[in-house]
Structure 1
């Protein structure tokens, strides 16, 4: 028996060593983009101070440049990556659409608004206002109102799929809170909520959860979390609501109201995405050991999950830049600063302060409890604005730059600001981590956008060469109709925004022009330039994330294979012509 036990133990040890070796090799291949993103004044300042401390000779030109930055009072520029590097030039040459996205969407807070692609779009928009659009102001106002529902517009959104699939998961949402609260027949009782056997598994399929719950993935995920005894650090998720003195009846009603406001026509920013982000945070808190390593108190654990649930509340399906350039009410309200994110968190907390008190699940909390809870949630939700990505990432990397894999000295669990800093990076990782899932699921997320392009362009549908012309036309019409029935409700969120911008006489935002975007190349670029540099330093604080890094590497290799196959097919076709 002892020999058998020793053999089993040895096999487990060998398996663990193989996994660590695989994760280590994946990390070594990430250095190119991580170094590119790390090349900013803040990282150079840290390097200079370290050289001074160790007695090394310091480059005076570097010191002069850093002093110039400090005197200019442009503190945010300290975390601006130097995009003039040769590596970025190569990226721009190979994939200009993604390079523009990287520069003008993820870094627009580093640039003057009078420069770049955004300003070009703005100037074009203004010139049109003085021209054809200005000649018919009423038509222009109506067009903009049709494109974006404003703050006061809460009309129900009809899904085009309802005529074909009455039980469509995305056809159940309402957009009128008062109507929802007034009708008892619309509430889902707790005993009718589906139980999930794989709650807490990193690769849980949120699309499947949405399907089996009849379009209520947020409610299903949240209910399974807080009614199952999951170890989150020193706390258990089961019974947490009761211990925090949360009115459970009002809380579950609140969750359903949050879900009812997730617009079903959005291809990405919908209830399925929110449920996925909430569940990603659950995995980080438990398997990623976030709750244990940071020593999170119980209300911080709850706040982390709650912030994920509201982080895209009532998302309009267009970017902050679009709202700003069209002078939308939300952009005016929030002075062009993190427009969507400010709206999400403000409106979600506004529900707690309704006069009828029907959703006030925090009614037993003290003023101090509410203040601390809301402050943490605001910080986390605002951090999901990708325009702040490199600023937040630069600050985080500066803290963990010299850490070993354990990185126990970079953050002090006893300091609330340190805990908040890690939670801010955690929600960012949860928000954009779809490509870190198993390949089948990662490709499914990417396919959502890619399929919509094929629907709009029937010429991209496969054409069997052996069919006659008549049979070919019939088959293509049949395939096109089938694809429309299956995917029409996805609404092409990103390409749709580009179409709206063209209609208004604006330049399409990066990655929003259906005629210029290569989905596969963009996914490779996003993994390289955004996901690797985010997950790599975070894995120093949370070592379990190395498994996600390995999966990101696998996803990238699969996209590269797909790209290589496509290029090979293109070369073969050109030879046969």
Structure 2
């Protein structure tokens, strides 16, 4: 842990400037440079307090000038509208693209590479500004008004025409159903928030609520299909949030049951996933490194965000909704469509008096909570992954270089940044759970992907990467997902809360190796697509493959006017 290298551009600049400062102090005999730099940081410091020879003095002065020139060069190229996190994000995207170009040499690797790029990189869509006249007989693009046709008539994805009514779903939030007032008939509130004949078994499973890897599938089974209500109600009681924020138990149950009713019966993005994310956030907040860091209001917002983040999810991706010109995509201008919709549905539910669990908060608390929840739920848009990772790693390394505690979060930007990455980690926590749970989640998410692929095939759309049930390679996809997405994220989180998340990181690597060993042997080759170490191969022909994780390490940059070079003039190689 102590030997981590500084790799984010802004932290590199700070490290170099600190080196320059110490060298100048040494050269001027002001204060001997006794401060030791973090391992791997740019710059070199002569720690000796003995007098320098003329040659040593000249060399130190020259290297200091070069280092300062390098820092100035980098600062001069920073664009005023870009954050320091953007600098790291651009670098990480460039590095990931370079890694994926090697990974995509095989057919299955190409599909996985496309899936990772399309899902986890916030790419700017190419815009064709040329006005092109459709050829006669060709169908206009979906959602585009028909030239010379009846006003209000637009093309559907299949090329058919339909009447577009501006009032359709544009003046109201879709997906809202009448509250069923579930608690009106209850004379006493159930211990875990749900009526079930298997309350004792449910209680035994919920004993693991504070542990990583609580079996949400068992919670769903024992709670009559109400895992989100059972998990959230129990967490709120255990954390004493009902008393802290004067929340009525009956009102909390009404809201939770109503919220759970608004999760659709899709394979993956259902209330079990929401319960899993909320429970994961709960455990991450229990990390000793985060003890006393966040306020009760921030904890309330984080748990609430986890519970609502996918409500009314239809089981298709944002890109599918955009490609089909759905009403939701139109309403939210193609920007984080499902995340914005889940927020709107959730806050609309709170407007029902029987569901308003935040009625006792004062105005400032309500506004602050709403802002935090919005910021956190929007961070679950997977296309924001690289920006979130870059911001977090920049913050961690910057505080290391500055010599301050990593978790001294003294402003909203830093606090929400950690909370955003926390919910993002929880949302990508499946590979870190016990293998049997992880495999269940994989089966469910792939089932949902394949359902989308079937829709796309029926609608004559291009089938999205990993959504074609006839060509997808599940095992190799999981290895690539862990190597390029999950591991870099969890590695950075583990650095933030070191050593609290080490067991989580270890489990992630164990699960990665299991899926690596399960990659089928190609018919045209005697080895799996991702070649394992033959010395470790099992009798059944499967081996423990060499790890190919996307490492965020120092490397030579591609040509990029806005990128920071990976070493300062006086940096060592390691």
Whether the TM-score (by the shorter chain) exceeds 0.5 is: yes
Report the Cα offset of residue 139 of structure 1: 8.0
1:274/1:312 contact within 8 Å kept: yes
1:248/1:361 contact within 8 Å kept: no
Q: Matches of 1:246 and 1:537 in 2, distance apart?
A: 36
- 1:279 maps to 2:279: yes
Q: Matches of 2:411 and 2:316 in 1, distance apart?
A: 37
**Which residue of 2 is the match for residue 536 of structure 1?**
491
Q: Matches of 2:143 and 2:358 in 1, distance apart?
A: 47
Q: Cα–Cα, structure 1 residues 302 and 187, in superposed 2: closer, same or farther, change >3 Å?
A: farther
- Could you state the TM-score of these two structures normalised by the residue count of structure 2? 0.69
2:455 corresponds, among 489, 494, 500, to: 500
1:222 corresponds, among 232, 243, 263, to: 232
**Which residue of 2 is the match for residue 261 of structure 1?**
262
**Which residue of 1 is the match for residue 441 of structure 2?**
445
**Which residue of 1 is the match for residue 125 of structure 2?**
112
1:125/1:505 contact within 8 Å kept: no
1:87 corresponds, among 87, 96, 99, to: 99
**Which residue of 2 is the match for residue 338 of structure 1?**
336
Q: Cα–Cα, structure 1 residues 214 and 511, in superposed 2: closer, same or farther, change >3 Å?
A: same
- Could you state the TM-score of these two structures normalised by the residue count of structure 1? 0.68
Q: Matches of 2:68 and 2:316 in 1, distance apart?
A: 46
2:173/2:344 contact within 8 Å kept: no
- 1:432 maps to 2:432: no
Q: Cα–Cα, structure 1 residues 309 and 571, in superposed 2: closer, same or farther, change >3 Å?
A: same
After superposition, the C-alpha distances for 1:277-333 in whole angstroms (9 at most, x for unaligned) are 1111111122x2364152x22222222111110111111111111112222121122
Report the Cα offset of residue 76 of structure 1: 7.9
1:247/1:363 contact within 8 Å kept: no
**Which residue of 1 is the match for residue 473 of structure 2?**
518
Q: Matches of 1:76 and 1:554 in 2, distance apart?
A: 31
Unaligned ranges ≥5, structure 1: 1-23, 116-123, 156-174, 229-236, 451-491
Report the Cα offset of residue 140 of structure 1: 6.3
Q: Matches of 1:154 and 1:73 in 2, distance apart?
A: 34
**Which residue of 1 is the match for residue 512 of structure 2?**
556
User: Radius of gyration: which is bigger?
Assistant: 2
Unaligned ranges ≥5, structure 2: 21-42, 44-65, 129-137, 147-152, 529-574
Q: Matches of 2:302 and 2:459 in 1, distance apart?
A: 39
1:374 corresponds, among 358, 370, 374, to: 370
Report the Cα offset of residue 351 of structure 1: 1.2
Q: Matches of 1:179 and 1:547 in 2, distance apart?
A: 42
1:412/1:418 contact within 8 Å kept: no
Task: Report the 3-state secondary structure (helix = DSSP H, G, I; strand = E; otherwise coil) of the residue aligned with 2:178.
Answer: helix
1:334-483 matches, within 5 Å, as 334-354=332-352, 357-401=353-397, 409-449=405-445
Q: Matches of 2:523 and 2:141 in 1, distance apart?
A: 44
Cα RMSD (Å) of the superposition? 4.0
1:263/1:270 contact within 8 Å kept: yes
**Which residue of 2 is the match for residue 474 of structure 1?**
none
Q: Matches of 1:415 and 1:150 in 2, distance apart?
A: 39
**Which residue of 1 is the match for residue 288 of structure 2?**
289
1:323 corresponds, among 321, 345, 349, to: 321
After superposition, the C-alpha distances for 1:168-220 in whole angstroms (9 at most, x for unaligned) are xxxxxxx7632623895699942436322322121211111101111000011
**Which residue of 1 is the match for residue 9 of structure 2?**
44
Structure in which a larger fraction of residues adopt helix: 1
